[in-house]
Structure 1
Amino acid sequence: MYTIQANTSGTRSIEVSDEHLATIQKYGLFQHLIDSNGIVDETVLDKLKLNIRSLIAAQVEDSKDLLDLCIDVIYHNNMKAFGLQQLIRLYLQWLPEHCPEEEEEE
């Protein structure tokens, strides 16, 4: 379990699990999310929320992992643009450790 800071003063935080991070990777939620300017603001958070809503609506199978991610992290009361930025940083640190690159076949 990881804890991300949700505001600049550090008075609010959000708990993030490995399962949440695996769900982000499984659905590629951060791919093409941030514009070329690299700024994470409220519009980026809104875009992520809309992308997840679309995925859930289009799912024929069980989307419990997406729903858990939404309830626990994305739609958390403390989640703002700063929290999303911290979540992206955590994900980028987590990714190499938990998803080793596939070895090339010769």
Structure 2
Amino acid sequence: MYTIQTNASGTRSMEISEKHLETIEKYALFRQLIDSNGIIDESVLDKLKLNVRSLIASMEENSKDLLDLCIDVIYHNNMKAYGLHQLILLYIKWEKEKEEKEEKAEESNS
């Protein structure tokens, strides 16, 4: 379980689970989300929400993991642009750590 800060003053935070990060990876939710200017603002959060809603609407199979991510994180009352930025930073860190673990596992198997 990870904790991210959702506002600049640090008075609000949110719990992010490994399952949430895996869901973001599974559906590639951050791919091409941020414009070339690199700024994460409320419009980027709105774009993410619309992308997720579209995904859920078009899915035929069970999308419980995506629904859980929406309820727990994306549509959470504390989620604002600052929180999304922190979530993206956490996701990048998580991906990097995951890759390092896989590399170490491959090295130990060799």
What is the TM-score of this pair, normalised by structure 2? 0.89
Within a 5 Å distance, the mapping from 1:38-57 to structure 2 comes to 38-57=38-57
Match of 1:25 in 2: 25
Whichever residue aligns with residue 41 of structure 1, its letter is D
Q: Give the share of equivalent positions with the same residue, in percent.
A: 73
Runs of 4+ in 1 over 3 A off after TM superposition: none
- Structure showing greater radius of gyration is 2
Greater shift in the superposed pair: 73-82 or 89-98: 89-98
- Alignment size in residue pairs: 102
**Root mean square deviation, CA, Å:** 1.3
* Unmatched tracts of structure 2, length 5 or more: none
* Alignment match, 1:14: 14
More helix by share: 2
Paired residues for 1:1-106 under 5 Å: 1-99=1-99, 100=102
Give structure 1 stretches of 5+ with no counterpart: none
Q: CA separation in 2, counterparts of 1:68 and 1:15?
A: 13
